[in-house]
Structure 1
């Protein structure tokens, strides 16, 4: 994850009964599921929201969480 740019944005979206992490590098981009960025994806513990481990790692890289 050392090559990930800082300052991106994250958003949690509800998909069915599950929350899924969405990402974009800046506000001019469309939101995309975090799995569209395989270089960022980290495995999640069983029973947690899809993308929680990636979310925590990106917070440490200076990404911000946006409310939906």
Structure 2
């Protein structure tokens, strides 16, 4: 996925109870756990929410928050 075609991010996909980052490249795809996209994963600092560093990095690449 290039920086010119950002994807979408959410912390709580419909039908889930956990609050962990999920990603998809476009709205026609199902949400997937962010670690299923190793090319985007950024290690989290200690005591931060799981996926926070990846979320911030993808925000800078203009990914959409849903």
State the TM-score, normalized to the length of structure 2: 0.82
Aligned alpha-carbon RMSD (Å) = 1.5
How many residues are treated as equivalent by the alignment? 61
Structure 1 segments, 4+ long, off by >3 Å, are 3-6
Q: Secondary structure at the match of 1:20?
A: coil
More contact order relative to length (CA 8 Å, sep ≥ 6): 1
- Structure 1: gaps spanning 5 or more residues: none
- Per residue, is there more strand in 1 or in 2? 1
- Structure 2: gaps spanning 5 or more residues: none
- The question of whether the paired residues in 2 share the 8 Å contact of 1:21 and 1:52 is answered with yes
